[in-house]
Amino acid sequence: MAQPILYSFRRCPYAIRARMPMVRTNFEVELREVVLRDRPEHMMEISPKGTVPVLLLPDGTVIEESLEIMQHVLEWELSEEEAHWVERNDEEFKFHLDRYKYPNRYDDVDEIEQRRLASAYLSDLDVRLGEGPAFATQLNDALFPFVRQFANHDRGWFDVQPWVNVHAWLTKHLESEEFKRCMKKHKQWASGDVVTVFPTP
């Protein structure tokens, strides 16, 4: 295996989180775009949990968690504050985000109540973004894909919320050239396909 293999799904916030540092550092991988209802056999062999992203290194090491992929690419050790915000994002915010976006997947869930609970995190994030100093790039990349997913579920509602700093922060990342490269569309991978190198110019 000449280079690492990344199994990814374009819109998944965890997969976006993994790809962003690859774009920023030109960490090249063989990209294999996955359709989640038709997961590749090889991906399931190396990572039976069946979720993306999955990074297979040339030495056979498999990294199955998006944050761990970020840490591998960047050689990143989280500070105490970074660990705090990642934990709130991944545990608290994502819990309510899933139930807001996909209420039918859960029993006895009120999506508006879940939106309200998720908003508590965004209100705190808005305050922190206004206080400075700014978050490091890697922490921004670990967080903004999930805020993007939340915002896109009801963009009209999100856009009128009083989170001035969150709106500016999210817009900055969504309009960046790095994000545009990260989100370039690729067809579903199949065994025997020509290798797709990521990131591309």
The pLDDT score that the predictor gives to residue 132 is 84
Spatial distance between the Cα atoms of 47 and 49, rounded to a whole number of angstroms = 6
Q: What is the mean pLDDT of residues 74-86?
A: 97
Spatial distance between the Cα atoms of 9 and 35, rounded to a whole number of angstroms = 7
Spatial distance between the Cα atoms of 2 and 136, rounded to a whole number of angstroms = 31
Query: Which positions ≥6 away from 27 have C-beta within 8 Å?
Result: 21, 73, 199
Q: What is the CATH number of the domain that holds 118?
A: 1.20.1050.10
Distances (CA, A) of 152 to 62, 146, 147: 31, 10, 9
Place 200 in a pLDDT band, splitting at 50, 70 and 90.
confident
What pTM was estimated for this model as a whole? 0.96
Mean pLDDT over the full length of the chain: 96
Domain of residue 189, residue span: 5-75+180-198
Spatial distance between the Cα atoms of 167 and 170, rounded to a whole number of angstroms = 5
Q: Same domain, yes or no, for 171 and 86?
A: yes
Q: What is the mean pLDDT of residues 76-93?
A: 98
